[in-house]
Structure 1
Amino acid sequence: MLTRRTALLSAVAATALSAGSAHTASAAPRTAGRVRLTLPAPSGPYPVGTVSLRLVDTARADPWTTAQSYRELMVSVRYPARDTEGHPRAPQMLPGEAAGFAVVNNLADVPADQVDWAATRTHAHQGAPVDRDRGPYPVVCYSPGAGDPRSLGTTLCDDLASRGYVVVMLDHTYDATAVQFPGGRVERTVLPAEYDKAYPDEKRIRALLKKTMAVRVADTRFLLDALPRALPRELRGTPDWDRIGMFGHSAGGFTALQAMHDDRRIAAGADLDGVIAYVQDDGDPGHLSTVAADGLDRPFLLIGKDGNDLSTVPSWNALWRHSRGPREGLTLRGAEHATFTDEEAMIPQLARRLGLPRRTVVKNIGTIAPARAIPAERACLASFFDRRLGGRYDSGLPGRVPQARPFARRAAPAHRRSSAPGASAGVRPGASTARPR
Structure 2
Amino acid sequence: MKRTTFLLACLLVLVTACSERQSVTFELPKPSGPHPVGTTATRLEDTGRGRELMISLWYPAKTTAGLPVAPWMPKAAAEHYMRDQGITGLRLDRTSGYEGAPMDTGLGKLPVILYSPGLDASRSYGTGVAQELASRGFVVVTIDHPYDAAVVEFPGGRVVAGKQPTDLDQAVVVRVADVRFVLDQLPSLDKAGSFDLERIGMFGHSLGAWTTASAMFADTRIKAGFGLDGAKLGKSDEGRGALDRPFVVVDTTGKGGMDKNPLVRQFWDKLTGWRLHLTIKGAGHNSMGDDVVLIRLAAAQLGLEKAELEELVGTIPVEQALAFQREYPAAFFDEHLRSHPSALLKAPSAQFPEIGYQR
Structure 1 or 2, whichever has the larger Rg, is 1
Matches of 2:182 and 2:99, distance apart in 1: 21
Q: Give 2:12's aligned residue.
A: none
Task: Looking at secondary structure, tell me which structure has more strand per residue.
Answer: 2
CA contact (8 A) 1:73 1:172 kept: yes
Q: Which of these residues, 115, 136, 140, is aligned with residue 142 of structure 1?
A: 115
Matches of 1:393 and 1:129, distance apart in 2: 30
CA contact (8 A) 2:4 2:120 kept: no
Matches of 1:340 and 1:95, distance apart in 2: 24
Q: Give 2:26's aligned residue.
A: 37
Letter in 2 for 1:97: A
CA contact (8 A) 1:96 1:179 kept: no
Letter in 2 for 1:274: G
Letter in 1 for 2:133: L
Letter in 1 for 2:77: E
Q: How does 1:11-410 map to 2 (within 5 A)?
A: 33=22, 35-60=24-49, 70-102=50-82, 113-114=86-87, 116=89, 118-191=91-164, 194-195=165-166, 208-231=167-190, 233=191, 236-278=192-234, 289-290=236-237, 294-306=241-253, 308-351=256-299, 354=301, 356-357=303-304, 359=306, 361-390=309-338, 396-397=344-345, 399-400=348-349, 401-407=352-358, 409=359
In structure 2, the CA distance between the partners of 1:10 and 1:92, relative to structure 1 (3 Å rule), is closer
**Which is worse superposed, 180-189 or 222-231?**
222-231
Q: Encode CA deviations 1:176-203: one digit per residue, 9 max, x unaligned.
A: 1111111111111133xx53xxxxxxxx
Equivalences, count: 343
Shift of 1:102: 3.2
Shift of 1:356: 4.2
Shift of 1:358: 6.0
Shift of 1:309: 4.2
**Which is worse superposed, 115-124 or 213-222?**
115-124
TM-score by length of 1: 0.72
Q: Give 1:204's aligned residue.
A: none
Shift of 1:84: 1.5
Identity in percent:
39
TM-score by length of 2: 0.87
CA contact (8 A) 2:285 2:311 kept: no
Matches of 1:366 and 1:322, distance apart in 2: 29
Shift of 1:52: 0.7
Q: Give 1:285's aligned residue.
A: none
Structure 2, gaps ≥5 residues long: 7-14
Letter in 1 for 2:293: A
**RMSD value, Cα:** 2.8
Letter in 1 for 2:29: P
Matches of 2:238 and 2:41, distance apart in 1: 30
CA contact (8 A) 2:251 2:258 kept: no
Structure 1, gaps ≥5 residues long: 13-28, 61-69, 105-111, 196-207, 279-287, 410-437
